[in-house]
């Protein structure tokens, strides 16, 4: 089992190795496997990127992302400009249904809302906004209203999907479905696998919510 000092060094090295984050001012501290990120970045896209980088490190149990986004004067945009840019970006993306998402911006903080049929559409909309210049933060209020599927159908399709997935051990995960809610229990080998299991469940037809109760255990990895 890694010590906190070893995890901290691995996280620091990962952040420096990532070309997107190598020039940022980010500090990582670790307590009992929980990583806390502090510092500043000049684009919002770097904030979730730093969090994802931490999740790839074995031994990490969770991440507290306290990074502050400080937009430089050359990157600053008016709220009206940002609203127009976000609206046009969503409009021209093939994954986003036309006229289903509304946008509002206040002091660089963007809020998107509306309804889509699939979780991947909600995530795609968020990803597009994340990467726009001048965005200081994003609140994603888009609701997923999927085609109707029975709990049995959802469980069968999700279980089969886990069995096909190279990065997920389906023998360690138990799936329960109530209505459109999926509950995941069992153990996984890393925080990245836990997140991947959750993302996969959210992408399943008929799923609107996932209660991810998976425990992260590194015993199999270290053996």
Asked if domains 79-144 and 151-222 share a fold, the reply is yes
Q: For the residues of 24-67, what is the DSSP string, one character each?
A: SEEEEEEETTEEEEEEEESSTTHHHHHHHHHHTSTT--EEEE-P
pLDDT given at position 219? 64
- HSE-up (13 A, CA, CB side) for residue 219: 4
Domain residue extents for the chain? 4-69, 79-144, 151-222
Is residue 223 very low, low, confident or very high in pLDDT (cuts 50, 70, 90)?
very low
Residue whose structure tokens are 């001012």: 25
Which residue pairs from 82-91 have beta carbons closer than 8 angstroms and sit at least 24 positions apart in sequence?
82/108, 82/110, 82/132, 82/134, 82/135, 85/132, 85/134, 86/110, 86/112, 86/128, 86/129, 86/132, 89/128, 89/129, 89/132, 90/125, 90/128
Residue whose structure tokens are 């970006």: 89
Is residue 101 very low, low, confident or very high in pLDDT (cuts 50, 70, 90)?
very high
pTM: 0.64
Residue whose structure tokens are 């691995």: 10
Q: Distance between CA 70 and CA 134 in Å, rounded? A: 9
Give mean pLDDT, residues 124-138.
91
Sign of the torsion angle spanned by Cα atoms 81, 83, 86, 90? negative
The helix or strand, by DSSP H or E, that contains position 198, with its residue range, turns out to be helix 191-202
Tell me the residue length of the chain: 223
Q: Distance between CA 18 and CA 58 in Å, rounded? A: 17
Q: Distance between CA 85 and CA 75 in Å, rounded? A: 13
CATH class of 4-69: alpha beta
Quick one: DSSP state of residue 108? T
- For residue 8, the tally of other CB atoms under 10 A from its CB is 19
Give mean pLDDT, residues 143-161.
88
Q: Distance between CA 116 and CA 222 in Å, rounded? A: 42
The answer to whether the beta carbons of residues 42 and 134 sit under 8 Å apart is no
Give mean pLDDT, residues 136-140.
94
List the single range of 64-68, 83-87, 218-222 with lowest mean pLDDT: 218-222
Is residue 138 very low, low, confident or very high in pLDDT (cuts 50, 70, 90)?
very high
Give mean pLDDT, residues 158-181.
93
Quick one: DSSP state of residue 106? E
Sign of the torsion angle spanned by Cα atoms 5, 9, 10, 11? positive
Give the CATH fold of the 151-222 domain.
3.30.1340
Question: pLDDT over 70 for what percent of the chain?
Answer: 97
The architecture in CATH of the region 79-144 reads 2-Layer Sandwich (3.30)
Give mean pLDDT, residues 178-188.
94
pLDDT given at position 73? 81
């Amino acid at each position: 089992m890694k010590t906190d000092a070893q995890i901290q060094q691995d996280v620091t090295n990962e952040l420096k190795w990532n070309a997107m984050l190598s020039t940022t001012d980010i500090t990582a501290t670790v307590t009992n496997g929980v990583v806390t990120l502090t510092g500043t970045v000049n684009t919002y896209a770097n904030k979730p990127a730093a969090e994802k980088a931490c999740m790839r490190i074995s031994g990490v149990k969770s991440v507290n992302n306290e990074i502050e986004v400080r937009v430089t004067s050359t990157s600053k945009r008016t709220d009206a400009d940002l609203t127009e840019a976000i609206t046009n970006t969503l409009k021209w993306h093939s994954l986003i249904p036309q006229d289903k998402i509304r946008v509002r911006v206040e002091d660089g903080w963007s809020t998107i809302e509306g309804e889509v049929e699939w979780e991947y559409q909600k995530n795609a909309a968020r990803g597009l906004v994340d990467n726009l210049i001048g965005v200081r933060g994003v609140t994603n209020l888009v609701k997923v209203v999927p085609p109707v599927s029975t709990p049995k159908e959802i469980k069968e399709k999700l279980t089969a999907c886990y069995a096909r997935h190279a990065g997920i051990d389906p023998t360690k995960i138990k799936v329960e479905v109530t209505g459109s809610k999926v509950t995941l229990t069992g153990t996984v080998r890393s925080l990245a696998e836990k997140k991947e299991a959750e993302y996969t469940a959210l992408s399943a037809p008929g799923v609107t919510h996932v209660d991810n109760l998976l425990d992260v255990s590194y015993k199999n990895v270290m053996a």
